[in-house]
Amino acid sequence: MKIRQDNELYATVLGAGENVKHELKPERHAYVQVARGSVTLNGKKLETGDGAAISEEKSLELAGVEKAEVLLFDLA
């Protein structure tokens, strides 16, 4: 797949209780897509198929509620 934009793509698998943080540089945005399972994103629950567009945040914290597969797009 070609993405014609300044981006970084991250994928993670989280178990229940596991978490990961991602710092966004100034003027960057993010999009999170939950492929499987459920997580919290900065305290808000997302489940399979959910996506979230994020702007004006400095950091993101994903925490597994149950085993989850997640994609994170860091975008300009």
The model's pTM: 0.91
- What sign has the CA pseudo-torsion 7, 70, 50, 43? negative
* pLDDT, tens digit (0-9, with 9 covering 90-100), for 40-64: 999 999 999 999 999 999 999 999 9
Q: What is the pLDDT of residue 71?
A: 98
Assess whether pLDDT exceeds 90 at residue 3. Answer: no
